[in-house]
Amino acid sequence: MSQQSDAPDPRTQHEQPDSEGERLPPPGHEESVTGRMGEEPDHGEQSYRGSGLLTDRVAVVTGGDSGIGRAVALAFAREGADVVISHLPGEAEDGERTAALVRDAGRRVLVVPGDLTEEDACRDLVDRSVAEFGRIDVLVNNAAYQMAQPGGIADITTEQFDRVVKTNLYAMFWLCKMALRHMPRGGVVLNTSSVQAASPSPPLLDYAMTKAGIVAFTRGLAQSVAADGIRVNSVAPGPIWTPLIPATMPEDQVAEFGTTTPLGRAGQPAEVAPAYVFLASAQAGFITGEVLAVTGGEPVPV
């Protein structure tokens, strides 16, 4: 007979989100949907405890206004990092909420609105970050866009394809190219891929393609900059409960979101952020070019 353990059961550590909310306008705004998306995401506001893993480092987090980005910004700040938060121009309320969490942790924060599908916006983000903090120690390419199309490729417009590719791939390329020149030895690049990179869903064909591209880009860039003392890794989340989900997926799929994982539920942003903290920290100093899956047990064989 197994002994009793104080560790929580991962199947019930977080309940399956209550999705009885409204269909939201994309890409999904955190503060503007309070009370409208059913279960509110957990970013670690009450649970995350830092231990000084990122003391005095400077981190840039794109898509930092909500979801995984907010959870990462919060965790980084509680680990001792100063944080730059990038978000779309229309998400100022969400961005300020994340910024407040960073300030509450006693760290400095810079909020930079901008549409990263434009090269000039990426340049502005890097320039303002360096002007404020003098360098970039950690770059988290997390901003992403998806829009599920039940009809598959026939329903994916050129406009949507352009937006998905420019948000998920172009922005990552531009930001890495611009930020690396300001990144000292010991710097880290973290790119958000997805379980979709290995197990693409037909309604997310364009999104899955970009996530697979992120994996290849991560491994190639890691080899390119290793001699400079910079590490490049990727976190591949599975089904994580964020405003992006009710904003971009059909209602029937939202209701079942995450229930097919081996753990039987969707994850929370707070459960993904520790992966970014680990990969950004010196504890992961011999890890580069890798993909760390946070999927509730869904395999990511990439």
Tell me the two tokens of residue 105. Answer: 């942790």
Quick one: 31-294 is in which CATH superfamily? NAD(P)-binding Rossmann-like Domain (3.40.50.720)
Confidence at 129, pLDDT banded by 50, 70, 90 = very high
The model scores a pTM over 0.85 = yes
pLDDT single digits (tens) 231-275: 999 999 998 887 766 665 566 666 666 567 888 888 899 999 999
User: Among 199, 238, 203, 198, which Cα is nearest to 215's?
Assistant: 198
| Ranges of each domain in the chain | 31-294
Element containing residue 84 per DSSP (H, E): strand 82-87
| 145 in catalytic set | no
Check pLDDT > 80 for residue 1. no
Catalytic residue among 48, 145, 207, 276: 207
Q: What is the spatial distance between Cα 38 and Cα 1, in angstroms, rounded to a whole number?
A: 39
Q: What is the spatial distance between Cα 41 and Cα 39, in angstroms, rounded to a whole number?
A: 6
Check pLDDT > 60 for residue 38. no
pLDDT single digits (tens) 156-200: 999 999 999 999 999 999 999 999 999 999 999 999 999 999 999
* In the block, residue with structure tokens 């988290």: 140
